[in-house]
Amino acid sequence: EQFIMLAITGSLAVASPALRGCGRKQPRALRACRRAPRPMHRRQACAALPNDENPEQAVQRRLRESEEVAERVKFLQDRVELDAALERAGDSLVVLEVASEEICQTGWDEEPELQWDEDKRAALEPCLRLKHTFARIARDCSDAVFLAISADDPKSKELVEELQVKTIPTVQFIKNKQLLWEHKGINKLEQNLSEGVLYYGDQAAENLKASSFVKDLHSPEEFQEFVKSQDKDVLTVVDVCASMCEPCVHIFPAVLALARNFEKHAAFARVQLDETPELEALLAGSLGIRDVPTFLFYRNGAAVGRHVGGSRADLIGNILQQQVGAGHPLPPPGPKATKAAPAAARKFSNW
């Protein structure tokens, strides 16, 4: 029973916005409070506002947040401005958005043909939502640099062409002036934006640092020390990833969720295979890693298994099996366990 409840807890944690990245959905409590048609409804709606905050204070808070966004997102028009911004960013993650208020492409091979004005307006809605998501993430993630280019601005046309952006919107993740990953088109862009900031920028919502739970290793010496230094019988999980690896980006929220759920029961770290020649020699050479992501399992300094691939469910199942198979206790169910446990028990019974 504990086995099943942990699987549910982990799955819910993986889906949590706090683990996907800095972006988190904002409550609509203020809007409901102000628009409630009757006094009774208004009292109920306003009760959902944050503690000790009335509607007027909420408006002032939103204005301050808008000012913060204006300071956090810098709009660019030409290559000179881009180069200067990248120079100022130094080692920080740079998130660059190329967007438009007139174009919203899916990124699919064939874009749908829109004949009616209503269809065109509806097609623009996801990109309008993206604008707010980008602004919210920029406000919440103070350690990253956020840049934006308007594809509608004639002065930006040459820069868009230089960046070889052919799909609008496009979001690029850049570090040390090197393009690490980009997402083209609106399809799944909001999710990938948050996951990219988490993976490359170490930033989740609520000021959470991923590296507080998943230690970053930067050398063979750090790798060996981490594996050997864990307490007796503690499962040690090393996420072997790469800087340009989309499956590595997508599975990392699950890795973070597992690290939080298994705190004091397992130790998690990640290492980029392509960060240095020495790491590549160790991981690809000595340890024979051919695909990323690969998850290496150790206990008491000795290898006990590995998992290859980007399936979140398979990774969770493998880690649970490692603990159960070795006769070690699982973490107690967390507060996120739900009444769906009986149905989920049947779903996960084969693990």
The answer to whether the beta carbons of residues 305 and 297 sit under 8 Å apart is yes
pLDDT higher than threshold 70 for residue 41:
no
The domain locations on the chain are: 70-201, 210-347
Number of residues assigned to the chain: 351
Mean pLDDT of 95-106: 95
Please state, in angstroms and rounded to a whole number, the distance separating the CA atoms of residues 236 and 212.
15
Please name the fold of domain 210-347. Answer: Glutaredoxin (3.40.30)
Least confident range of 11-15, 37-41, 161-165, 256-260: 11-15
Whether residue 247 is preceded by a cis peptide bond, meaning omega within 30 degrees of 0, is no
pLDDT band at 127 (very low <50, low <70, confident <90, very high): very high
pTM confidence score: 0.76
Instruction: Give the tens place of pLDDT for each residue, 252-286.
Output: 999 999 999 999 899 999 999 999 999 999 999 99
Has 248 been annotated as catalytic?
Answer: yes
Please state, in angstroms and rounded to a whole number, the distance separating the CA atoms of residues 191 and 180.
17
Please state, in angstroms and rounded to a whole number, the distance separating the CA atoms of residues 215 and 238.
9
The answer to whether the beta carbons of residues 124 and 194 sit under 8 Å apart is no
Q: What DSSP state is assigned to residue 144?
A: S
Instruction: Give the tens place of pLDDT for each residue, 46-95.
Output: 554 556 677 777 666 666 666 666 788 999 999 999 999 999 999 999 99
Q: Which CATH class is domain 70-201?
A: alpha beta
pLDDT higher than threshold 70 for residue 232:
yes
pLDDT of residue 8: 37
Asked whether the domain spanning 210-347 has the same topology as the one spanning 70-201, the reply is yes
- Options 22, 127, 241, 245, the catalytic residue: 245
pLDDT of residue 346: 31
Please state, for a pLDDT cut of 70, what percent of the chain lies above it: 73
Please state, in angstroms and rounded to a whole number, the distance separating the CA atoms of residues 222 and 272.
12
Least confident range of 67-76, 112-121, 229-238: 112-121
The answer to whether the beta carbons of residues 244 and 213 sit under 8 Å apart is no
Please indicate whether residue 188 or residue 16 has the higher confidence score (pLDDT). Answer: 188
pLDDT higher than threshold 50 for residue 5:
no
The answer to whether the beta carbons of residues 149 and 75 sit under 8 Å apart is yes
